[in-house]
Amino acid sequence: MHFADDNIAKPNTMTQTRVRLWNVDEYHRMLETGIITVDERVELIGDNSHR
């Protein structure tokens, strides 16, 4: 049974996202193997460990 408000977001729900950090070689391998494509949106975050 479905109710009209089943698809409405609940005000107190939170979404958790797991973050996985990749190095440049892993990123290029994912492109080569088709795990991700050049058309997909990815966010590249700089590495601050060299400061």
Q: What is the pLDDT of residues 37-46, one digit of tens each?
A: 989 887 777 7
Res 41: pLDDT: 82
**pLDDT tens sequence across 8-34:** 666 667 777 777 788 888 889 999 999
Q: How far apart are CA 45 and CA 41, in angstroms?
A: 13
Structure tokens at 42: 């990815």
- For position 34, what pLDDT does the model report? 94
49 φ/ψ angles, rounded to the nearest 5 degrees: -75, -10
Residue tagged 């080569």 (tokens): 32
Q: Supply the DSSP symbol for 36.
A: S
